[in-house]
Each structure stands twice: as C-alpha cells, then as structure tokens.
Amino acid sequence: MVKTSNLKLAAIAAGLALTAGCAKKAPEQLPPPPMESGTTAPTGETTGTVGQGVVPGSRADFMQKVSSDRVHFITDSYSLDGEARSILDTQATWLQANPSVNVTIEGHADERGTREYNLALGDRRANAAKNYLAARGVAASRMTTISWGKERPEALGSDESAWAQNRRAVTVVPQ
C-alpha cells in the first residue's frame, strides 16, 4: 500500500515537472488593437471590409447586387411572370459568381385560405423559384426550400395591397 502511494506520488510529480516546461511565453510585442472601420491605418490605407463594409458572398453583397431577394405571385398561383423571372435571373448570376453560398428559398401565401392550403401553395412557390434557378445553372443541392404558408406575413392587413406583398418567394442568404 505504501509502495502504491509512493508510486502514484512520483508519477504525479513527474507529470507536473514535464508540464512546467510547456508554459507559454508572453510575446515580445503585442499586436495593435483592432481599428474602427474607416480609420486610417499606419500604412496610410483606410481600413474596413471590401466595398464599404460589404463582404463578397455575404447577405449584404447579395442584396446589393440582385434586383430583389423576393418574387411575387398572383392569387392562388405559383407561376413566375416576366418580372419574377428577371429578378431570379439576377439571383442566378450572383449565385453562379458565389458557388460556395447555399440559400434557402421561403414560400409564403396571403392570409386567405386554410393553413394546409397555404402551406402547400407556399411550397409550390418556393419550388417554382428553386426550379427556375436550377434551370439557370444553380446546383439544386445548394438550395433548400421551406413553406411558411400564411404564418409569416410581410404586410399586416386584410386588403389587396397587403395580400399582394404576402404572396411571395424569398431567397435567403445566410449571414
């Protein structure tokens, strides 16, 4: 019993001695603190990210370069009109230029109709947008769809103006 205790104590002491030599040394010189965007760096260059705070491939870049992140539909329809196809063409161009970006396409409906009907309609709208983008060369594996039906209205109200805004498919680029 005494030998086992001494052996354990010796093993612990040896382990501590080995790790004592592994302590990190403080750097000789610390790096400068981060600078605020738009300030002048010691080199004379202005700091900040590319394009006035817009990182290529980001949601902000997407919103800046496409005509819109959403397409609208007429009542009880998931057909893409000329304006919707034009918007999706700009999205396809951006997605092809940013092949590492995956997106979610959300389908929405207005408040009229049952929950089940609107979920199905939202699904058809999201898939119509996805299929169009895929036909324009965007890999289908980069796009997921979800239907929110009437659960996430863009505009509140029970009139044609609000309903028109809520009948949509939205392409969402992650942050």
Decide if 71 is inside a domain: yes
Whole-model pTM: value is: 0.70
Which domain range does residue 82 map to?
A: 55-172
Q: Are 107 and 147 in contact (CB under 8 A)?
A: yes
**Residue 92 counted as domain residue:** yes
Q: In this predicted structure, what is the pLDDT of residue 49?
A: 46
The total domain count for the chain is: 1
- CATH number reported for the structural domain that contains residue 168 in this entry: 3.30.1330.60
Task: Kindly provide the b/e burial profile for residues 13-28, where b requires at least 16 CB atoms within 10 angstroms of the residue's own CB.
Answer: eeeeeeeeeeeeeeee
Whether 89 is in a domain gets the answer yes
Burial group, residue 134, by CB count within 10 angstroms (0-12, 13-18, 19+):
middle
- Residue 30: inside a domain, yes or no? no
CB 65 within 8 A of CB 58: no
pLDDT tens by residue, 133-158: 999 999 999 999 999 999 999 999 99
Structure tokens at 158: 């029970």
pLDDT, residue 8, reads: 72
Residues of the chain with pLDDT under 70: 1-5, 9-10, 13-52
**Which among 90, 88, 102 is positioned nearest to 139, based on CA atoms?**
102
- 43 located within any domain: no
pLDDT at 175: 82
Distance, CA of 137 to CA of 101 (rounded, Å): 14
Token code pair at residue 103: 């997106």
- pLDDT, position 53: 80
**Spatial contact of 146 and 172, defined as CB atoms under 8 Å apart:** no
Domain membership flag for residue 3: no
Give the model's pLDDT for residue 27: 54
Within-domain flag for 33 = no
d(CA 64, CA 20): 54
SS3 content of the chain, % helix, strand, coil (to 5): 45, 15, 45
